[in-house]
A and B are shown apart, each in its own frame.
Chain A
C-alpha cells in the first residue's frame, strides 16, 4: 500500500530550461511533420518567438530531474508495475525554446480498486515561466498493478 499521507503533499519545485535541441529531438522521435517544431524560421513565421514546445512537452520537462522517478521512488512504488492511466493538459501562454519553466507537482489523491490489487496516484503539476506567466498544467493518473 502506498502511504496515503502523500495526498496533498507537493514535491520541491523544478526549474528547467527549454532547449531547442531537446525540442528538435522530440520532433524527430515522434515523426513530427510540421517544421514549426524544428525550424526556427518556420516557427517565427507562424508567430512564435522561438521553437514552440509541443502539446505534451510539459510531461517531458517534468522528467528533467536528478531522479526522474522521483515520486515513484519517494512512494516506494515498484517501477515495473507502473502503468500510465490518464493524462490531461490545460494550456496558458506558449512554452518556447529559451524559456525557464518552474513546475510544481502535488499529489492530489491516492486510492485503490479491486481490493487493493490496483492503486491509483493522481499528480497535478502547475507551470509558470521566467516572466511569471501561467503556462497551464497537467494532471496524470498513474496505475500501480499488482502482478499477483
Chain B
C-alpha cells in the first residue's frame, strides 16, 4: 500500500484548494551524482565542475528532471499515480547546488469527466521559482 491516504474525490475538492506541500532534502553534489546515474541523464554539466566552468557556468547545477521528479512526488502524495493524466513543466531557472526545493500546487479548474486542473510550482529556500507547471488529474 501507499503511505498516503489518496482519499481525494472530485466532489471533495474546490477551485483554490492547495495540495499538501512537499519539500526535498538539500540538493548536494552527491544527490546530483546519484540522480545522474539513476535517471540516465549523464550530461556532465550536472556532475563535473570542470565541464560546467568550461561551458561558462559558475558551478554544476541540478538536472531539471530532478525538480520535475519532486513535482511528481507532490502529485502522487495527493492522488494515486494512475489518476494523473497530464503533467508538464517549464524549467524557469537553474536550481543551484544546496537548494532545498519546496513543491506546491493548487486546484485551478474542475472540468467535465471528473478532471481537475492544477497549477504546480517548485521553489527554492529563497522563494525563487525554479519550475512552474500544470497537471491534469482524474478523480473518483
Contact = CB atoms under 8 A, between A and B. Distances in A.
Interface of A: 22, 25-26, 28-36, 42, 45-47, 52, 54-56, 59-64, 68-69, 79-91, 94, 147
Given A25-B38, A80-B55, A46 B80 contact: yes
13 contacts: A28-B34, A29-B37, A30-B69, A31-B24, A31-B70, A46-B80, A52-B81, A54-B72, A56-B72, A60-B65, A63-B41, A86-B91, A87-B68
Contact of A59 (B65, B88, B91): B65
Interface of B: 1-4, 24-25, 31, 34-35, 37-45, 51-52, 54-56, 63-66, 68-70, 72-73, 75-77, 80-82, 84-91
A26 B39 contact: yes
A36 B1 contact: yes
A103 B23 CA distance: 32
B65 A147 contact: no
Contacts of A29: 31, 34-35, 37-39
Given A36-B1, A80-B45, A89 B70 contact: no
Given A36-B1, A87-B68, A30 B73 contact: yes
A108 B73 CA distance: 29
A84 B65 contact: yes
B2 A46 contact: yes
